[in-house]
Amino acid sequence: MRRNLLLTAGTFLTAAVILAGCGESGSSGTSAPPSAASGSGCAPVAGDKLVVLTDDKALQNTDNVVPAINTKASSPEILAALDKVSAALDTEKLIELNKAVDVDRKSAKDAAQEFVTANSVTTGITKGKGGDLTVGAADFSESKTLGELYGIALTAAGYTVKVQTIGNRELYEPALAKGDIDIVPEYAATLATFLSGKIDGANAKDPSSTDLTTTMTNLKALGDKAGLTFGTPSAAQDQNAFAVTEAFATKYALTTLSDLAAKCSGAATVLGGPAECPQRPKCQQGLVDTYGFQAGKFSSLDSGGPLTKTGLKQGTISVGLVFSSDGALAAG
């Protein structure tokens, strides 16, 4: 699970703005979209198991995991090795990887090696010309684990690989473009938006999309300008998602966000998330615009963190913003 921000192109928050919008945990924190909720809604239901409601109208953009490579360092053998990792990954497997590290407390390297072995990732990898490669990773566990996966695959392709934690995108993307590092696990929609803002300016049209082909077409065009090449995106996504307890989903017969809007718009329904959620097009405002969902109350908590997950499990909120690859969503 990564540390996402609820931002889209043209929406840039300074720390001062974020702090100004934050209230105490459990308070509204910021004004919500005008509520047209007229039904009774769905009161929270406590439970230990969390489930994500399917985004059946594609509110969220396609933040699929994709390898980003410095173009000068790229080769067919490197791309083929990285694509083996992409082919083995989907969101459920990424959730299990995150559970192994974040919940079961395994090291990123050990979790990656177990995944590679279980999924035969290195079988059939073609040897490249060899040499030294540095895989960069952002400073959160999912990125580190993905970096280790890339490292194992590239080692099998005959390269000497160092996996190095760099920090945030503002630090590692320039290092990748300059060739100080060679490869980074990335997220298609978020990187497209980041590069567009950097290359074309803050007022550029957002190149990310709910369609993966469109997102990747735009990302590759931006990559050409930035000196970056991309492997095949995986089916694994780490993006905003909305979770409820399994008990809540069972009680109200919900599997999708359309179900939530149709059955649970109303006064008793409590939406939990970060303070900026009510105005964000991929959070509460998006639920209103895309699904017609009307919560009776908004509770200011955090961005898919312990406050939101605790609120769901303890039954103080009905539905909460989480990240789709969170290890807490693992089955069992």
Which is it for strands 319-323 and 266-273: parallel, antiparallel or unpaired? parallel
More confident residue, 6 or 218: 218
pTM of the model: 0.87
> Could you tell me which residues come within 8 angstroms of residue 15 by beta carbon, excluding any fewer than 6 positions away?
none
Whether 145 and 116 have beta carbons less than 8 Å apart is answered as no
Q: For 139-148, 151-160, 198-207, which range has the lowest pLDDT when averaged over its residues?
A: 198-207
State mean pLDDT over 308-315: 98
The predicted structure's pLDDT at residue 232: 98
| Mean pLDDT over the full length of the chain | 90
pLDDT tens for each residue of 154-186: 999 999 999 999 989 999 999 999 999 999 999
pLDDT of residue 203: 86
What secondary structure does DSSP assign to 222-236, as a single string? HHHHHTEEE-PPPS-
Of 326 and 14, more confident: 326
State the pLDDT at residue 19.
28
Closest CA to 305 of 331, 272, 330, 276: 272
Phi, psi of 320 (to 5 degrees): -140, 150
pLDDT score, position 21: 33
Q: Which domains does the chain possess?
A: 22-59+239-329 (3.40.190.120), 65-230 (3.10.105.10)
Q: Tens digits of per-residue pLDDT, 231-249?
A: 999 999 999 999 999 999 9
For residue 279, give the DSSP letter.
G
Condensed to tens digits (0 to 9), the pLDDT of residues 90-133 reads 999 999 999 999 999 999 999 999 999 999 999 999 999 999 99
Q: What's the pLDDT at 332?
A: 61
Tens digit of each residue's pLDDT (9 = 90 or more) over 220-234: 999 999 999 999 999
Residue 39 confidence class, pLDDT cut points 50, 70, 90: confident
Quote the CA–CA distance of 330 and 98 in Å, as a whole number. 9
Which element (helix H / strand E) includes 273?
strand 266-273
Mean pLDDT of 2-24: 37
How far from 209 is each of 50, 189, 196, CA to CA, in Å? 27, 7, 13
